[in-house]
Amino acid sequence: MNLDSEIELWRTEWQSASEAPALAELRRRVARESLYMRILLVTEILVTIVIGGGSIVIAARDPRPANILLASATWLFITVAWIFALVSRRNSWTPVASTTAAFLELSIRRCHAALRSVIFGAILYAVEMTFCLTWIFHETHALNWTTLLIVTLITAIFAIFLMRYRRKKRTELSYLKNLQPD
């Protein structure tokens, strides 16, 4: 057997071999996460249109300073969230190559972005709730127990969600890092 025929045999075997299980799982994971990222992007666009547009409509119909402040703050929060989202997702849509290492690197990059998003989401939520409760108090000169109870419940649910999501992403990141060659 000469060298050319041996190389041709290896090439044929290599091309006919099934994909490694780790790469196949990474491809499925990346495809699933890419779908989630697209759904999240559509949701963010809808929130921008509905909440942002709604705040402008309220301020246009009743241009009191409080409503203009509400619309301005709403758009400030939306802008900050969009900037974070765009920066966070930069280079996270597709792997740079169709290799196990590239899919693994993309998955790790996405996990890091998700962990940063947890911190950002918690901070943004706290700032937004502080503004909203202050705005409500300014407008009504009181905060009733129902409002405080609802905000407290929503905050607790959101905090639990963030903690679970953070734990899940840390576990996933640890798993992915263990897949990396030394």
Instruction: Specify whether the backbone of 143 is left (phi greater than 0), alpha (psi in -120 to 50) or beta.
Output: beta
**Residue 42 is assigned to a structural domain of this protein:** yes
- For the cut 90, the answer to whether the pLDDT of residue 34 exceeds it is yes
List, for residues 138-149, the tens digit of each pLDDT value.
998 888 899 899
Domain limits at 57? Answer: 20-179
**Residue 14 is assigned to a structural domain of this protein:** no
- Say which residues have a Cβ less than 8 Å from residue 106's Cβ, sequence separation at least 6: 30, 92, 94, 95, 96
**Residue 134 is assigned to a structural domain of this protein:** yes
Mean local confidence (pLDDT), 3-12: 61
- For the cut 60, the answer to whether the pLDDT of residue 59 exceeds it is yes
Instruction: Please report the pLDDT score of residue 17 as a whole number.
Output: 47
**Residue 57 is assigned to a structural domain of this protein:** yes
List, for residues 68-106, the tens digit of each pLDDT value.
999 999 999 999 999 999 999 998 998 888 888 888 999
**Residue 35 is assigned to a structural domain of this protein:** yes
- Say which residues have a Cβ less than 8 Å from residue 160's Cβ, sequence separation at least 6: none
Structure tokens at 147: 């409002």
∠ Cα 60 151 122 (to 5°): 90
What's the domain count of the chain? Answer: 1
**Residue 66 is assigned to a structural domain of this protein:** yes
Instruction: Please report the pLDDT score of residue 99 as a whole number.
Output: 82
What is the overall mean pLDDT for the chain?
A: 89
- Say which residues have a Cβ less than 8 Å from residue 134's Cβ, sequence separation at least 6: none
List, for residues 124-171, the tens digit of each pLDDT value.
999 999 999 999 999 988 888 998 999 999 999 999 999 999 999 999
**Residue 2 is assigned to a structural domain of this protein:** no
**Residue 9 is assigned to a structural domain of this protein:** no
